[in-house]
């Protein structure tokens, strides 16, 4: 899918990582609202499997039903960004 309003998975991952750095233990709903990535779970999966980011998962209790009940939601934290590729020093002579 491409077009004027569609950005790459790498750009989406960068936005998610920029949000997770100062906001550890963010929920999927918080990421979706702040980063506008479409499918948060797809972006998080690609970040770990394809792009080399480190994401730690956990759980948090949040209130629901006017605060009378609680439910567990998955949380995400950034542990590391991908390492930059190193340039090999090759003699050109």
**Does 90 map to a domain?**
no
**Does 46 map to a domain?**
yes
Domain that holds residue 61: 9-80
Strand order in the sheet with 26-27: 26-27, 69-80, 54-64
**Does 58 map to a domain?**
yes
Report the CATH number that the domain containing residue 61 is assigned in CATH. Answer: 1.10.10.10
**pLDDT value at residue 33:** 94
**pLDDT value at residue 38:** 87
**Does 28 map to a domain?**
yes
**H-only helix segments in the chain:** 9-20, 28-35, 40-49
**Cβ-Cβ contacts under 8 Å for 7 (sequence gap 6 or more):** none
**Does 73 map to a domain?**
yes
Backbone angles phi and psi of 71, in degrees to 5: -140, 155
Q: How many domains does the chain have?
A: 1
pLDDT at 40 over 80: yes
User: 60-93: per-residue pLDDT in tens?
Assistant: 999 988 888 999 999 999 999 998 767 667 776 6
**pLDDT value at residue 66:** 85
Higher pLDDT among residues 33 and 89, named by residue: 33
């Amino acid at each position: 899918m491409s077009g004027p309003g569609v950005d790459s998975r790498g750009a989406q991952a960068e936005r998610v990582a920029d949000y997770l750095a100062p906001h550890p233990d963010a929920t999927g709903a918080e990421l979706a609202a702040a980063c506008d990535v479409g499918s948060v779970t797809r972006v998080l999966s690609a970040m770990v499997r394809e792009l080399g980011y480190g994401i730690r998962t956990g759980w948090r209790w949040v209130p629901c039903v006017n605060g009378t009940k609680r439910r567990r939601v998955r949380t995400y934290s950034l542990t590391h960004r991908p390492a930059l590729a190193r340039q090999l020093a090759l003699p050109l002579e």
